[in-house]
Structure 1
Amino acid sequence: MVQSKRQKYMFLLFSILPTLIVFTILTVYPLTQGLYMSFFDWSGMSAEKEFIGIDNYIKLFNDPIIRKAISNDYLLVVIKVIFIMIIATFFAVVLTQFRIKESPIYRVIFFFPNIMSVVIMGVLWMFIFNPKFGMINEGLKALGLEQWTRPWLGDQDWALPSLAVPLIWAGIGLFMLMLMGAIMNVPKSLYEAAEMDGASQWIQFWKVTVPLVWPQIKTAIIYIVITTLNGSFVLVQIMTEGGPNNATQVMGSYLYQQAFKNFNFGYGATIGVLILVLSLITVMILQFVLKRDKVEL
């Protein structure tokens, strides 16, 4: 019996060991290195590092740009969660509950932005928002609304909302497909029973669909939050570089500028630690807020 247990534990150990090694090399080691570098003044170009203790963290908490970046990140989180979840859920329900012959075509169309390069997507939307020949301003002129035209990415009030548009556009397809898969697994007998009880489509959605696909909804919301806090900077860097006047600055783009443009890797690493801490805290709060009792079929 003892030998059998030992063999079982050895098998489990050797099964997870390769994954554990890869995780340590690709995740744990870079994180610890980033934390270590945050205590140094280092340009990233020389072998010399000057230990400065928590000076980078003191600088971080007194930096008005990082406060602006944090508020921009969380504003994008709120905008993306609201619009992506509403639009993705709407189309997921429509394409599964209503018999639409073109459903496979719509799936491909909605998912298409997910297979595009971020660089291509950024350049495409820069042309769309171009103040001289962009599609939006030209469309407004054609409708006789020339007074509404503006330099979208160059306007401090409109730059961040404008950036949110391609981020939402790129995120709808993935979460629509995720929710479609969950909705198609809901037994049709539940909808038939609800309909026999006189429940409208709206009531069926809230009383049947939402409770049964809540785990996928929760996963989608958390994934949107994580990717926004950690990944929005790529599009920001391509389209606005954080401008105008830091109006679209997010934590990731500010990290990039400090580390790779200003050659202040120590401070850049400090911003990276901040992103990690805020992401963990936000996900922990969401896990608690979005917790629901599991619905048994």
Structure 2
Amino acid sequence: MVQSKKQRFGFLAFCIVPTLMLFLIFTVYPLVSGLYYSFFDWSGSSANREFIGFANYSTLLSDNIFPRAVLHDYFLVVTKVFGIMILATFFAVALTQLKIKEAPFYRVIFFFPNIMSVVVIGILWTFIYNPNLGIINSGLSFLGLEQLTRPWLGDPDTALASLVLPSVWAGIGLFMLMLMGGILNIPKSFYEAATVDGAGEWQQFWKVTVPLVWPQIKNSILYIVITTLNGSFIIVQVMTEGGPDNATQVMGSYLYQQAFVRNNFGYGATIGVAILIISLFTVIVLQKFLKREKIQY
């Protein structure tokens, strides 16, 4: 009996310890280090670090660019959540409820952008938005709408909005598959009962489909929010580098510029701490807002 307990403990330790070590090294240690360095004036490459207390946080509160970066991040969060979820839900319902023969083919087509690197997607859409050779301006000129052509990524009025389309395009496939999995698990008898009760397709969608796939919808929204607040930096850096005139600056790109371009690593770490706090606050609020009673079936 004692030997059995030791074997069980050894097996659990063998399974848990490596994962715990990776978590501590790649998650906990960077978080603690970022918090530590935020109290220093440090270039990131010098051996000299000057402890300055909360001076970096005071600078952050008076920074004119950081609040704009936060608003830009939230703009991308809202537009991506609505854009991706509406289109992903539409395609998921269409491919599961309309009995389309080519559904497997469309699944692959819609999911294809998800296997592409964000860098590749950014470069691709940079060419699409190119004011001289891009498809958008060329198409507008072909239709005789030259007055609508513009340098989409070079105009402060359109640069941020131009980042939404590639972000939505790249995210539809994954969340479509997540919702399709939930829809396909709904018993057909539920829809049959709703039909007998006189519910139309639109009513069935709101009264049957949405409540029963709400866990997938909730997880999708939270995933989009988290990845946007923490990962929109990549596509911004590839397509606009935060310009023009900080019109597309987000928290991640501003952190990168401060820490690795301007060699102000301490201030960059402070921005990282702010990103963590803002992300946690946003997720906690969303968790409460999206909370619903779980339906068993």
Bin of the TM-score, shorter chain as denominator length: over 0.9
- Partner SS state of residue 96, structure 1: helix
Q: Which amino acid aligns with 1:233?
A: F
Between the aligned partners of 1:90 and 1:9, the Cα distance in structure 2 is: 48
Q: What is the correspondence of 1:235-274 to structure 2 with a 5 Å cutoff?
A: 235-274=235-274
Q: What is the correspondence of 1:79-228 to structure 2 with a 5 Å cutoff?
A: 79-228=79-228
Paired residue for 1:231?
231
Paired residue for 1:22?
22
Q: CA deviation at 1:142?
A: 1.3
Between the aligned partners of 1:7 and 1:127, the Cα distance in structure 2 is: 59
- Partner SS state of residue 154, structure 1: coil
CA deviation string 1:125-168 (max 9, x = no partner)? 01100111210011111112111111100111100000111001
Q: CA deviation at 1:17?
A: 2.2
Between the aligned partners of 2:75 and 2:246, the Cα distance in structure 1 is: 14
Contiguous gaps of at least 5 residues in structure 1:
none
Between the aligned partners of 1:75 and 1:26, the Cα distance in structure 2 is: 29
Paired residue for 1:75?
75
Q: Which amino acid aligns with 1:120?
A: V
Between the aligned partners of 1:149 and 1:195, the Cα distance in structure 2 is: 49
Paired residue for 2:32?
32
Between the aligned partners of 1:5 and 1:294, the Cα distance in structure 2 is: 37
Contiguous gaps of at least 5 residues in structure 2:
none
Q: Which amino acid aligns with 2:104?
A: P
Aligned residue pair count: 297
Paired residue for 1:59?
59
Between the aligned partners of 1:27 and 1:193, the Cα distance in structure 2 is: 49
Q: Which amino acid aligns with 2:105?
A: I
CA deviation string 1:39-73 (max 9, x = no partner)? 00110111111101000000011101001000000
Structure 1 stretches of at least 4 aligned residues deviating more than 4 Å after TM superposition: 1-14
Identical-residue share of aligned pairs (%): 70
Q: CA deviation at 1:15?
A: 3.6
Q: CA deviation at 1:7?
A: 7.3
Between the aligned partners of 2:272 and 2:245, the Cα distance in structure 1 is: 22
CA RMSD of aligned residues (A): 1.5
Between the aligned partners of 1:48 and 1:93, the Cα distance in structure 2 is: 59
